[in-house]
A and B are shown apart, each in its own frame.
Chain A
Amino acid sequence: MTDRLVSTVLPLKSPSGGPALSGDRPAPGGDFAVERAEGAVRLRLTGLWVTETLAGLAERFLQEAGAIQSAAVSLDLTGVTRLDTAGALVINQALARLGAGRCRTEVVSPDEEFIRLLNTAKPVPEGDRPGPQAPAPVRFVNQVGRNLTDVGRSSLGMLSFLGEFLGTLGYLAVRPGEIRWTSLAFHMDQAGIRAIPIVSLLSFLIGMVVAYMGMNELAKFGAQFFSIKMLEVTILREMGVILAAVLVAGRSASSFTAQIGSMVANEEVSAIRALGLSPMVLLVVPRIVALVLTFPLLVFIADVVGVIGGGTAICLTSDISVENFITQFNNGAKTNNFLVGLIKAPFCALAIGLVGCYHGFQASTSAESVGFLTTASVVKAIFLVIVIDAIFAIFFVNIGL
């Protein structure tokens, strides 16, 4: 609309910035002045009209221009020393406002380049822009709904992933030649063996804390010896497996997601499929099976080291001797507690491995998605581990173990 109105008028003054008129002090940025004469208005622009100087200036200018009630307005750019597309955009917006008020507009510019910029930097009408966002309450409800369906979808996805995994296991049982032994061994080392130091250390410390705190409380009743029994139940039945599971969830679920996710992002998984191979066989089975095989070992180590840690604390801080501790432990301990703890291990490992691998496959081509998914997979893996533990706890208590 405005390009019809824009016209070049030869400069009356020297194009090199033009001498400032009386009262027109050149501002460090840009400025403008409104001159009214015989029903015509002259908007005289001066100085820098560029992106850096527009803050505040643009609003003032548009407001002033919008308030003009005149039949003819001329925009004089003679005093403008620099103009860029942002400045030109603001001038165009002003022209549009003036034009909407049925006002004849005219642009005076010494510089061809300014006119070119004015013709380039057209405002985009509101109508052409994508619609505004929905109001906050609607967005909130939207988000809640989306999150709920996401939870449902990802649960279903996990379930079908579990099915696919079990199916692949069955397939591999029939054709063991396709099992990737190297990969399996590598992941057993990565996810299992290399976790031993950190699992042992933490288990030792937790064992100490549990025994020490228990002993302090029980000493009030003169029942220090029961702290040994308490240590046994806590570590063997619950803490050993939970501790190892939380650590492995943090170590391995995240690394599975990141590894597979970046392979998806890099289209390596597509390449595997295109070669007629199965990412399940190549990537998922070695990882999950390695975890299921090595995780009970980690739990066992956590149990042993935890009990040693607890024993250390008890022997160091009370008058119970090492021999005494061992005898008491032997007398009180039940294999039950140890087995109950250990039997949960493969299930936790399966959950951690499935969550880690499943989320890896959810990655899109952006690097950011891998980051999000890694966080989600760790959180979900720990959540699942605790849920599994709770289910087993209820189950075992009910069957009297």
Chain B
Amino acid sequence: MADPRAGSSSSDSDVVVRLRGITNRFGTNTVHQGLDLDVRRGEILGLIGGSGTGKSVLLRTIIGLQRQAEGTVTILGVTMETATPRERAAVRRQWGVLFQDGALFSSLSIGDNIQFPLREFTSLGKGLRADIAHMKLELVGLPQSAWGKFPGEISGGMRKRAGLARALAMDPKILLLDEPTAGLDPIGAGDFDRLIVTLRDAIGLTVILVTHDLDTLYAACDRVAVLSDRKIYAIDTIPNLVKLGHHWIREYFQGPRGRAAEGTYERNQASGAPDARSAAAQTPTQEQEEGV
């Protein structure tokens, strides 16, 4: 995509999240000004930008936690500003959000946390609800022994996975992740990257993630959107972004850390074990998919 303007060429049915002319202000500080963004169905989109460029604010705008001053948010074809409360509620059930530290309800066990949306939004029987929640626990790669534990009793990485399981409880179409790998050890972060790709492939999610983790960007993201100067400066694959020659982007991807991440990624590609595939040994999903 040579046109750095937010994917304006993609057809309507393919666009899951469409932002048009978004302006966000905090007092006199304008964070976004006339920002456009299109997220396509089934892609994993990374959102990057320097500190204070409003990555999290943008994520919160999409979720509706931060009301924009101007502009429209259209999700799955529903324009959120003009939609009826019913329509909005229906759209809200189509996304799952993973906050930075999982945001699990600390008074509920992991099992109850995952069942919470099911209990609130469906009239499923107790048994089936538990079956579904156990399956989601398996899906995000948590041991079943975590079921009865409380959020305070498990590690940060497990909390993120449990938060992901809760986000997936209602089988959302869109998954929004805020710094999914922040604070995880490299192995845990790598596992998480693969998990996201695996889930996308298995249940057809569209994923939007805010991250600073270069490994995640290389290993998981199909496209990366760069927030700069209150707009999406560009949205494309990493190699194409680097070609644009923007100083900050080059620095970001070709600084020492960017090169290291790129190197790892390329080694994995070369050895015939792309990151998504090498997850096969760890996640049951992938294994069975190959068995078909």
State the A residues within 8 Å of B (CB). Answer: 3, 6, 8, 50-52, 54-56, 58-59, 84-86, 89-90, 93, 113, 115-117, 119-124, 128-130, 364-369
Contact = CB atoms under 8 A, between A and B. Distances in A.
B51 interface: no
Contacts of B138: 122, 124
Given A84-B203, A124-B138, A366-B151, A119 B288 contact: yes
Nearest to A62: B128
Given A85-B135, A129-B144, A120 B292 contact: no
B106 A55 contact: no
Contacts of B171: 50-51, 84-86
B122 interface: yes
Query: Interface majority SS on B: helix, strand, loop or mixed?
Result: helix
A51 B288 contact: no
B105 to A, nearest CB: 9
A130 B147 contact: yes
Given A85-B203, A115-B292, A365-B152, 7 more contacts: A55-B124, A119-B285, A119-B288, A120-B288, A121-B139, A123-B134, A130-B148
B125 interface: yes
Interface of B: 93, 106-107, 118, 121-125, 128, 131-132, 134-139, 144-145, 147-148, 150-152, 168, 170-171, 201-204, 284-285, 288-289, 291-292
Contact of A119 (B122, B132, B134, B289): B289
A85 B96 CA distance: 14
Nearest to B121: A52
B292 A122 contact: no
A104 B135 CA distance: 24
A56 B107 CA distance: 30
11 contacts: A51-B121, A55-B122, A86-B132, A89-B135, A121-B139, A124-B135, A124-B144, A128-B144, A129-B144, A364-B152, A368-B107
A84 B169 CA distance: 11
Contact of A129 (B122, B123, B134, B284): B134
Given A59-B128, A129-B144, A117 B134 contact: no
A116 B151 CA distance: 31
Contacts of B93: 52
A122 B138 CA distance: 9
Given A58-B125, A113-B204, A93 B288 contact: no
A278 to B, nearest CB: 27
Nearest to A121: B135
A61 to B, nearest CB: 11
Nearest to A367: B106
A129 B146 CA distance: 9
